[in-house]
Amino acid sequence: MHYVETQLAGAIGAASARIMVASVVKEEALSLEEVRNILDEASQVVMYSHQLEQKSRELEAATRELRAANERLKELDRLKDDFLSTVTHELRTPLTSIRAFTEILSQEPEIDAAQRGRFLGIVTKETERLTRLINQVLDLAKIESGRAEWHETRVDMRELVLDAVSAMGQVFQEKGIRLELKVPERVAPVQADLDRLTQVMLNLLSNAVKFCDQGAGRIEVELSERAGWLRVDVRDNGAGVAPEDREIIFEKFRQVGDTLTEKPHGTGLGLPISRHIVEYHGGRIWVESAASPALGGGACFSFTLPLLRDAAREAA
């Protein structure tokens, strides 16, 4: 009987098991109080069982989340390794050119003026490239750590877009890229950091240049106002961005394409930095198909910024 009572106690509780075994052995009827006690213990057992099931489900969910987080950490670790490899390559390339041409200039005093000027031009260009790379890495670190300095003023985006396009004019000419501007005579101002937004605009233009075919490239830049928002579109006729890659290209350390077989186009930090800047100002940045008959395929990078309240009311 003790064995039976032990087995019942595990299922319905010790008191209930004792009462039930005693009533069976003595052939006595259960009193109302005894029935209540049995029901109370049974309900407690059911409640504990439900609690255990809930804890079990929570534990399984936590285990899945930990597994997913671990996989994500492994992926980030791999991406960082790829990023460091890319940055190392990008640093080494200009440094190698700078060293090679400075050695030639210092060791070959009889170089004619034309060659000297060309070599100095290459050194200057590679130095600027190296500076841009270092600045991108530092900018992203400062922005993500919250140590970036922001200087907000009323910004005329029409003037900013035209200045950025003008700054890229030489590059467009060298690459044989045709540029089309769709900019109104006047747009409402935004409250923003002028230098940071200029950085976004230059990043998008440089990105479009990278993926345009040399000699046959076309880029459209459009500025417009829409319901209290200012929108900038930069379209190109390059290879475009696959739908599955349109979100990950805005993540740091991420570049589309096969990094094992293709030479990376820069560090892949321009778009993540641009996203941070645009979102800091309350806007949004994204990419989609160019959807322009004149451009054919390609990609369209767009971002929006909220107009100043008084400007938004005027526009409305």
Domain total in the chain? 3
The answer to whether position 171 is within a domain reads yes
170 and 308 share one domain? yes
- The residue ranking higher by pLDDT, 244 or 31, is 244
214 and 298 share one domain? yes
- The residue ranking higher by pLDDT, 179 or 138, is 179
Q: What is the chain's alpha carbon radius of gyration, rounded to the nearest angstrom?
A: 34
Q: Coil, helix or strand for 6?
A: helix
End-to-end Cα, the chain, rounded Å: 87
Question: The domain spanning residue 129 has which CATH number?
Answer: 1.10.287.130
311 and 239 share one domain? yes
Question: If phi over 0 gives left and psi between -120 and 50 gives alpha, with beta otherwise, what is residue 13?
Answer: left
The answer to whether position 99 is within a domain reads yes
Question: The domain spanning residue 261 has which CATH number?
Answer: 3.30.565.10
The answer to whether position 75 is within a domain reads no
57 and 190 share one domain? no
Task: Please count the other Cβ atoms lying within 10 Å of the Cβ belonging to residue 105.
Answer: 15
Closest CA to 14 of 26, 24, 25, 2: 2
What residues form DSSP beta bridges with 55?
A: none
Q: Coil, helix or strand for 276?
A: helix
Q: CA-CA distances (angstroms) from residue 254 to 75, 76, 78, 261, 277?
A: 11, 10, 11, 15, 18
**Residue 285 in this model has a pLDDT that exceeds 90:** yes
Distance CA 132, CA 314 (A): 39
- Per-residue model confidence (pLDDT) at position 256: 56
pLDDT band of residue 196 (cuts 50, 70, 90) is: very high
Please give the mean pLDDT across all residues of the chain: 80
161 and 282 share one domain? yes
**Residue 245 in this model has a pLDDT that exceeds 50:** yes
273 and 190 share one domain? yes
Distance CA 172, CA 204 (A): 13
- Per-residue model confidence (pLDDT) at position 232: 97
Average pLDDT for residues 156-167, to the nearest whole number?
A: 95
Question: Which of 4-18, 65-79, 163-177, 189-203 bottoms out in mean pLDDT, i.e. has the lowest?
Answer: 4-18
The answer to whether position 38 is within a domain reads yes
- The residue ranking higher by pLDDT, 311 or 236, is 236
Q: Check: CB of residue 126 under 8 Å from CB of residue 97.
A: yes
The answer to whether position 150 is within a domain reads no
Closest CA to 156 of 2, 305, 1: 305
- The residue ranking higher by pLDDT, 206 or 136, is 206
Average pLDDT for residues 159-165, to the nearest whole number?
A: 95
Percent of the chain at pLDDT > 90 equals 29
20 and 137 share one domain? no
Question: If phi over 0 gives left and psi between -120 and 50 gives alpha, with beta otherwise, what is residue 122?
Answer: alpha
- Per-residue model confidence (pLDDT) at position 19: 56
pLDDT band of residue 20 (cuts 50, 70, 90) is: low
230 and 267 share one domain? yes
305 and 160 share one domain? yes
pLDDT band of residue 5 (cuts 50, 70, 90) is: very low
169 and 135 share one domain? no
The answer to whether position 74 is within a domain reads no
Distance CA 310, CA 188 (A): 9
167 and 240 share one domain? yes
Q: Where are the beta strands (DSSP E) in 145-264?
A: 152-155, 178-182, 190-193, 218-226, 229-236
The continuous run of DSSP H or E covering 86 comes out as helix 32-107
**Domain limits for position 307:** 155-315
- The residue ranking higher by pLDDT, 110 or 21, is 110
Final residue belonging to a domain, choices 145, 173, 191: 145
pLDDT band of residue 265 (cuts 50, 70, 90) is: low
